Structure 1
């Protein structure tokens, strides 16, 4: 940590203002789970009566993982963005809750808000890819787009070990660790790690209470996609540290008869929909326009 420069709270001023502006455009829907009484927070952007497009964030994330995509995708869709249970503004699940409990809670809230028989489209990032694929096995989904999805079971790229910010109390020092982790894990180009990126990353990490890593490192995505049997788009950044050989996963899916389109996002890291927002927005819009 000796080479890190402490970052004051003012570093986040621009990012906080940008998030506040976007949040002001949302309709906030807080759903109370019948089973536990806990709440799941959803934000809806655009015309609520248009076909629902649900955006699912990754581990150590919340709705702001899609900060550079939401407005671009609302042109002809109602964009629904949850904070998954145990993330962001949603309540934590009961002690001992597992992945299936997270899926059940997310599904209950989604079906209650949009209607259990209403067909939706899904876009998801990282750990959210496994969540979205599981949801697609349990309810009507027209199309599914996954960006930097976890659960592929393949090799990861060598990267610098993430710094353990949880052991640091001083906010300025901890923020410097968030900045270092953001640049080594989430983004390829360090210059992209601006105030907005750091604000999203810091706030999301601090409000994460569900452990996603065990699910992310499994190889269960292929089986879920096969069971879901929906039109699927898979995108990875060319420098995504979580997937060294994503094309091999695509080849595996083809041998198993899983219909999908595959693409790489040039010069992007793991958080491709932020780092290469215009390109990812273009590809997502084109994909969903075919539905």
Structure 2
């Protein structure tokens, strides 16, 4: 902590207000799982009768990973955003739960709320890309857009290891570690690590109870996309530390006959849909408008 400046709770005031405003626009569905008795939280924005677009957050995340994208996307779809089981306002999975347990709970709650035969569209970030691609293999999905997806099996380019905030009991000091990790892992330009970004990152990390890293580092996304066989858009920030050469992954997909569009988001890090929200919103809107 010697080279970090403690950040008081007041640092988050503006961000907390923005999150509260957006959350106030949502219809909340707290779905009880018959298998475990636990609850999965879903938020719905926009016209609930419109075609569903499901936004899936990343690891150490929750619905707020899409805080700068939800409202623009409601112009096209009813936007459904879960807190995956073990994240955010959803209950933890039972001890020893694995990725398949998370998928079962997510799929059960989604199908119960929108209908198992209802075709949806999907957008996902990071670890959520593996979740969304798996969903696309198991239920009707029209279009799939992935931002900074995990599961590509390629090299990462981390500049430094994440700081372990779990061992820090002093809140202001712990927040300084969140700020440092946000700037080194999630965002490219430190100036974009504003009050809202830090609010989202801190709250998401504190409420994460499922370990996603092992799944994120797997090399299974290509096989899932081939099996799903849906219209797909893949986006990465040009400075995404989780993917050294995403173009190679796209080339691999083309070789395997996986139909998809590929793009890089200039001057953005891993959390591209936050750091370059206008550009990502434009690309997502253009992609989904084709349906």
Task: Compute the TM-score of the two structures, normalised by the length of structure 1.
Answer: 1.00
Secondary structure at 2:17's aligned position in 1? Answer: helix
Instruction: Give me the whole-angstrom Cα distance separating, in 1, the residues matched to 2:21 and 2:272.
Output: 22
Structure 1 counterpart of 2:198: 198
Map residues 243-262 of structure 1 onto 2, 5 A cutoff.
Answer: 243-262=243-262
Is the CA contact 2:76–2:289 (under 8 Å) kept in the aligned structure 1?
Answer: no
Structure 1 counterpart of 2:109: 109
Is the CA contact 2:241–2:269 (under 8 Å) kept in the aligned structure 1?
Answer: yes
What is the CA distance between 1:32 and its match in structure 2? 0.3
Map residues 52-131 of structure 1 onto 2, 5 A cutoff.
Answer: 52-131=52-131
Instruction: Give me the whole-angstrom Cα distance separating, in 1, the residues matched to 2:43 and 2:230.
Output: 25
Instruction: Give me the whole-angstrom Cα distance separating, in 2, the residues matched to 1:168 and 1:287.
Output: 43
Structure 2 counterpart of 1:47: 47
Instruction: Give me the whole-angstrom Cα distance separating, in 1, the residues matched to 2:93 and 2:221.
Output: 23
Structure 2 counterpart of 1:161: 161
Instruction: Give me the whole-angstrom Cα distance separating, in 2, the residues matched to 1:74 and 1:289.
Output: 12
Please give the per-residue CA displacement for 1:233-268, whole angstroms capped at 9, x wherever unaligned. Answer: 000000000001000000000101100000000000
Please give the per-residue CA displacement for 1:76-99, whole angstroms capped at 9, x wherever unaligned. Answer: 310000000000000000111100
Instruction: Give me the whole-angstrom Cα distance separating, in 2, the residues matched to 1:204 and 1:76.
Output: 27
1:23 correspondence with 2:26: no
Instruction: Give me the whole-angstrom Cα distance separating, in 2, the residues matched to 1:36 and 1:65.
Output: 26
Structure 1 counterpart of 2:37: 37
Secondary structure at 1:40's aligned position in 2? Answer: strand
Please give the per-residue CA displacement for 1:88-119, whole angstroms capped at 9, x wherever unaligned. Answer: 00000011110011000000000000000000
1:142 correspondence with 2:142: yes
What is the CA distance between 1:160 and its match in structure 2? 1.2
Structure 2 counterpart of 1:3: 3
Secondary structure at 1:161's aligned position in 2? Answer: coil
Instruction: Give me the whole-angstrom Cα distance separating, in 1, the residues matched to 2:156 and 2:35.
Output: 38
Unaligned 5+ runs, structure 2: none
Instruction: Give me the whole-angstrom Cα distance separating, in 2, the residues matched to 1:235 and 1:12.
Output: 29
Structure 2 counterpart of 1:241: 241
Structure 1 counterpart of 2:186: 186
What is the CA distance between 1:188 and its match in structure 2? 0.2
What is the CA distance between 1:143 and its match in structure 2? 0.2
What is the CA distance between 1:182 and its match in structure 2? 0.1
Unaligned 5+ runs, structure 1: none
Instruction: Give me the whole-angstrom Cα distance separating, in 1, the residues matched to 2:227 and 2:34.
Output: 28
What is the CA distance between 1:161 and its match in structure 2? 1.1
Instruction: Give me the whole-angstrom Cα distance separating, in 1, the residues matched to 2:158 and 2:181.
Output: 14
